[in-house]
Chains A and B, each alone.
Chain A
């Protein structure tokens, strides 16, 4: 091959190579953009269907009506009854998950021997991986009968047992994230505290915990988001009857349970009943968004740099 042809060949190979490189980069960029498309699609679908819904139902009724009976002849669309159920179960869950998760995190990060921690962490991760439907079964068929032995008047569906089980379900998330945050606190801060004569507990509570506060706060926020969006446990154990109450001993539907209930029936596509679940979903989405923003603010507020 003469030098000119060789040169030309090399050039064309170079060009081909560059084209392949660019093509691959484009494909990878597309893969990364899929997540952006997903978000856009979620927002678009929820807004689109909700706009149609709010053409039928004034937004004021949606926010102030105290009844949620969209499938009855005398239809009412008061999201408050569903919100009450969501907030009550979430609150019960957090009352279990935050203290238990924090104690576990402090224990694993500051007290537990190395060996125990190496076993306990994967075990807690396993607990976090159990499907929620199994927790739902557990709540309805084990925890509720157990609670009924203590409180005989407790109905078969109630927010208390759903909330308690949901709390247990969230503990691994909170303990794992909080522990990571506490482990990230530099050792010299602990050593400084010990040098002043502080005990382990004092160091953990007054030095490590405040320093890891931004991480703890975000783990709590994640726990709240989980609880608000949790579906199967409440749909199985708390009943599906909308009920404007904050009493955990009563049955009530949450936003998520309502969506499940509608999806189980067969509502025609495009009916007002079909659109209610998108309005409910939009409310849920706005709530999680609110908590995420709150979490962001808290993280900024408590962030400590070393």
Chain B
């Protein structure tokens, strides 16, 4: 109550106080509306984005779009080499990032002593998460493409994206492990388990949902990454497929595809966006739609896993 109010007669004082309360409540409501408007605004932006893609791209989505190579004629162009490339690159990324990321997470949570080395690793993981993705592209260009002589290959791209999502996997693994109570570890040791037995029989299985969430979110991010792949100089016009990783005679797997040139979904889309013809931009919208469905599905699966298991597991 201000000094002014205090000098007023009692009845008026009450009036004034009520007015102040009403005014503050009005502000409260106004902010509630503002927040809701902001939230609906975000929803609208998303709806517009999706609507715009659907409007321009849906007509191009046909069976042929998925089974055709890119072409100089917009109507014939498709994303066959792009989605095959994306699948193979993601395979490499997952094969590299999952063991390294989960291993690092386990080390930091279960093995690491409290010393300088551990501090350095921890600070380093945090900082790496903030490094712009294009910098990873420069690293890959200097290191993988030229020093290691991998060239503009699927292996180089997969390794680059693996390093890029490593912090995501490490952080998710650590958070998942941290929720496991100490008694589980003590019970395992009491039964005579060694450290690795304890980790592999208990810690890993129990933290699996959390790790899966992190891996899927990381891969969803990697699928959409364009800048690092462009930086290593990946070609944009690829009208052939790399050799299949599987073959009919022993040893059934081959590694030649690793060194094949490739293109991926976001690069294909970028290639089409940057052309002035409306037909190609419609192709870009269609490719964007496919990419959007891929990432949204992966993110939705990750969110679902997290919510599902959070409800079920009670220690």
Question: Which residues, 193 to 223 on B, are CB-close (under 8 Å) to A?
Answer: 194-196, 217, 220-221, 223
Known: A136-B273, A256-B227. A278 touches B138 (CB 8 A): yes
- Complex CA gap A130/B50 in Å reads 11
A133 at the binding interface (Cβ < 8 Å) = yes
Name A's B-contacting residues (CB within 8 A).
Answer: 17, 20-21, 24-25, 27-36, 38-39, 41-42, 45-46, 48-49, 100, 103-104, 106-108, 111-112, 116, 120, 122-127, 129-138, 140-142, 168, 171-172, 199-202, 204, 222, 225, 228-232, 235-236, 256, 259-260, 263-264, 266, 269, 277-278, 281, 284-285, 288, 292
Residues of A within 8 Å of B139, CB to CB, are: 38, 41-42, 45
Residues of A within 8 Å of B112, CB to CB, are: 32
Q: Is the CB of B104 within 8 A of A199?
A: no
- Complex CA gap A180/B136 in Å reads 29
Q: Is the CB of B35 within 8 A of A21?
A: no
Nearest residue (CB) in A for B231 is A263
Stretch at the interface among B61-69, B77-85, B243-251, B292-300: B292-300
Nearest residue (CB) in A for B298 is A129
Q: Is the CB of A131 within 8 A of B273?
A: no
CB distance from B52 to the nearest CB of A (A): 5
Known: A28-B107, A32-B103. A141 touches B281 (CB 8 A): yes
B35, B48, B104: which contacts A104 (Cβ < 8 A)? B35
Residues of B within 8 Å of A125, CB to CB, are: 299, 303
Q: Is the CB of B38 within 8 A of A281?
A: no
Question: Which residues, 115 to 137 on B, are CB-close (under 8 Å) to A?
Answer: 120-121, 124-125, 127-128, 130-137
CB distance from A245 to the nearest CB of B (A): 23
CB distance from B190 to the nearest CB of A (A): 17
B239 at the binding interface (Cβ < 8 Å) = no
Nearest residue (CB) in B for A270 is B146
A31, A138, A228: which contacts B132 (Cβ < 8 A)? A228
A104, A123, A137: which contacts B285 (Cβ < 8 A)? A137
Q: Using an 8 Å CB-CB cutoff, how does the interface string of B131-157 with A read, 1 for contact, 0 for none?
A: 111111111011100100000000000
Q: Is the CB of A103 within 8 A of B34?
A: yes
B28, B142, B233: which contacts A201 (Cβ < 8 A)? B28
Known: A45-B139, A48-B142, A263-B230. A31 touches B103 (CB 8 A): yes
Residues of B within 8 Å of A284, CB to CB, are: 132, 134-135
A-B contact sample (6 more), CB < 8 A, given A25-B195, A42-B131, A288-B131: A107-B36, A231-B132, A231-B134, A259-B227, A260-B231, A284-B135
B266 at the binding interface (Cβ < 8 Å) = yes
Q: Is the CB of A32 within 8 A of B121?
A: yes
Q: Is the CB of A103 within 8 A of B35?
A: yes
A31, A33, A45: which contacts B99 (Cβ < 8 A)? A31
Residues of A within 8 Å of B106, CB to CB, are: 28
Residues of B within 8 Å of A34, CB to CB, are: 100, 104, 163, 166
B261 at the binding interface (Cβ < 8 Å) = no
B14 at the binding interface (Cβ < 8 Å) = no
B19 at the binding interface (Cβ < 8 Å) = no
Residues of A within 8 Å of B291, CB to CB, are: 131, 133-134
B134, B225, B269: which contacts A281 (Cβ < 8 A)? B134
Residues of B within 8 Å of A230, CB to CB, are: 132
Stretch at the interface among B39-47, B87-95, B176-184: B39-47
Could you list some 25 contacts between A and B, CB below 8 A? A25-B196, A28-B104, A28-B111, A31-B101, A34-B166, A45-B138, A45-B139, A46-B138, A103-B38, A107-B31, A107-B38, A123-B46, A129-B221, A129-B298, A129-B299, A131-B223, A131-B226, A132-B226, A133-B288, A134-B292, A172-B42, A201-B28, A229-B134, A231-B132, A236-B273
